[in-house]
Amino acid sequence: MKLSTRLLLGHVLVLALVGGALAVVLPRVVARSMLQASAQLLAQQAENAAQQLALRSLGGRVVLQSSAYTLGAAYAVMDPTGRVVAAGPLPFLVELVGLPAPRELEQLARSAVVRGTAHAIFVYQDITLVAGAAPIRPRGQTASVGVILFFQEAQDLDPAIRELTWNLFRWTLVGLIAAVVLAGLLGRGIVARLAELRAAAAGLAEGDLSRRVPETGRDELADLARSFNHMAARLERLVAGLRQSEELRRQMMATIAHELRTPVTSIRGFAEALQDGLVPPERQPHYFSIIAGEAARLSRLIQDLFDLAKLEAGQL
């Protein structure tokens, strides 16, 4: 399988894995974030309503109903003893009027009294509620005279959560696809440069020692190209040196062969002359001396050949 194909499959696999992970994780993250944001908004609105009630600028029930209607939320008011004194419009809240508040509401109210505002997400009677609370403190007093709580059912936020999740998933997926396309284009450039390097290496293996690759850029591939070109240049010089050495060796062998032929010819000629009786007795010592000299010369040439052989074998 080609490298470009493997890169493409890798990008598609990454896109599929990230898309699957987003499809699983994103709805939960968005839902949790939106519920938390809604709870904080309810706490802020509860604080505003508590301030209006403390100023008594409007009737208490009018303030609560107006704020709840604006938020699309339900409300409840608890007195300092923890009893629910007003609530609506959810039926299970209306049923609590005049009764001690359930544990979840009481804990939220206490947290609001201590911290100024409080928000929470909890399950009450199998209903997931988003709630915010704030204490009612008349001007000039530090003690609270009650706590306002606003509620929303989590399921009421489902359409907004689904829409936001889909928008985030869609645009994230578009960004991922764009990133994969960009990575693919960059990968094609990398594959093309690797193909040039492979072609140059193949040419070098076939004996074309002049092959080089472009050294563009400052990345790892550029470093690899520079290393390849440096190696090719050294190999070219080495082969040129070997060829020159081989030429010198051939010339030396030709010279030695010629030098060997001369004493051998002399020895053979004088020996045949002596053997055929063509040399007078008084001249024979002279010819024997010539033969001995040529034999010594031949011995030196043979020793030179041995030394040359040892030199080529690396023994000298």
Contact of 229 with 215, CB cutoff 8 Å: yes
SS3 280: coil
Q: What is the pLDDT along the chain (316 residues), one digit of tens a residue?
A: 565 666 667 767 777 777 777 777 778 888 888 889 988 988 988 888 888 776 654 445 556 666 666 667 888 888 888 898 888 788 888 888 888 888 888 999 999 998 989 999 988 888 888 999 999 888 777 788 889 999 888 888 788 878 888 888 888 888 878 877 777 777 777 777 777 888 888 887 887 878 888 877 777 778 888 888 888 888 888 888 878 877 877 777 777 777 777 777 777 777 777 777 777 877 778 878 888 887 887 788 777 777 777 766 665 5
CA distance 12 to 22: 15
β pairing state of 84-88 and 74-78: antiparallel
Architecture of domain 220-313: Orthogonal Bundle (1.10)
> 63: closest CA among 42, 84, 48?
48
CA distance 45 to 116: 13
Ranges of each domain in the chain:
3-165, 220-313
Count how many residues are written for the chain.
316
Alpha helices in the chain (DSSP H): 3-55, 60-71, 91-94, 103-115, 158-205, 220-275, 284-313
CATH fold for the domain made of 3-165: Beta-Lactamase (3.30.450)
Per-residue DSSP letters for 128-163?
Answer: EEEEEEEEE--TT--S-SEEEEEEEEGGGGHHHHHH
Amino acid residing at 99: L
Kindly report the number of other CB atoms within 10 A of residue 32's CB atom. 12
> 76: closest CA among 12, 151, 7, 24?
151
Amino acid residing at 171: W
One fold for 3-165 and 220-313: no
Amino acid residing at 76: A
Predicted structure pTM score: 0.54
Strands across the sheet containing 146-153:
84-88, 74-78, 146-153, 127-136, 118-124
**Backbone phi, then psi, for 133, in 5-degree steps?**
-140, 155
